Amino acid sequence: MRASRISLLLVGLIAVISYFTLFTVLEVKNAIVLQFGDPKRVITEPGLNFKIPFIQNVIFIDNRILDIDAPAAEIIASDQKRLIVDAFVKFKIVDVLEFYKALGNENVARSRISAVVNSRIRGVLGEEPLSAVLSESRSKLMKQITSLVEAEVKDFGIEIVDVRIKRADLPEANSQAIFARMQTEREREAREFRAQGAEMAQKIRSTADKEVTIIKSQAEKEANIIRGEGDGMANKVFAEAFGKDPEFFGFYRAMQAYTEGLNSNDTTMILSPESEFFEYFGDFSGLDN
């Protein structure tokens, strides 16, 4: 029993010593072995490692690409337009020892990087007009910002992978004013389009009326010519007929006059009996000559 107790005690002691001595470095981590706060070793390879118990401790630092959602910042463009910019940063810790000496941990690193990014965004975008920030030129501006941020944090053992703008909006008050101005501009354009349409419609109507007048005038001219030619032919026929039998032609014309003048039951005519109109009615006196 005594031997068993001693064995269990030794196993427990070995387990405790192993717990405080051995540690595992994962593939996604780097490790720094500290002795009373001073770094002694940097471990970048994954696997099982050891440290002096109670004297040394280990801190782990992520070796993956990390990201920071920088707080939104209000900038003033070179044309005095205000803009709310929301950016994000991707970075990687490439020198673990320098990173630990300069910043200590990721929380401090995120705060420092966010401050640098906001400062550089204000500096670069503040020299550009609003149109450049909202156009295709923004990609070039972001590369410039990335280079400036990387140059400033490289002494921290950090590599800046990318800096991007997630959102670039106008402040709420400016947005309402710009919306109202855009609405006014669209209404003005609509009025111009309507005025141009009315003008074109008037031109089309005027052209059509002119063409109609010309066509009617031409038709009337041709009709008058044809009518004149017809009257001429009719007169010629009448003249020829009159020349062949003037007495019959006079009688025929008188009959036509009677038909036109006496075509109603209530026709009243006051004429002299000696009028030529009654030439073919005989003697109105009732006496035979």
The conformation of residue 44, written as its DSSP 8-state character, comes to: -
pLDDT at 287: 46
pLDDT at 84: 81
Please, what are the averages of pLDDT over each run of 10 residues along the chain (289 residues)?
73 73 89 89 88 87 89 78 83 92 89 89 82 76 88 90 81 61 84 89 89 89 88 78 71 73 66 64 51
Q: How far apart are CA 106 and CA 93, in angstroms?
A: 9
pLDDT at 174: 55
Q: What element of type H or E holds 31? A: strand 29-35
Token readout for 124 is 């670069």
This prediction has a pTM of 0.53
Count CB neighbours of 220 within 10 A.
Answer: 11
Count CB neighbours of 83 within 10 A.
Answer: 20
Collapse the DSSP code of 2 into the 3-class scheme (helix H, G, I; strand E, B; otherwise coil) and give the result.
helix
pLDDT at 281: 62
pLDDT at 158: 92
Residue 93, Cβ density class (10 Å: 0-12 exposed, 13-18 middle, ≥19 buried): buried
pLDDT at 184: 83
DSSP string covering 237-255: HHHHHHHH-HHHHHHHHHH
pLDDT at 252: 73
CATH fold for the domain made of 66-176: Tetrahydropterin Synthase; Chain A (3.30.479)
Residue 66: beta bridge partners? 91
Domain boundaries, the chain: 11-62, 66-176, 237-278
pLDDT at 135: 74
Q: How far apart are CA 261 and CA 284, in angstroms?
A: 19
Q: For helices 106-125 and 138-153, give the axis angle rounded to 10 degrees.
A: 140
With tokens 């109105």, the residue in question is: 284
Query: Do 23 and 52 form a contact (C-beta atoms < 8 A)?
Result: no
pLDDT at 289: 44
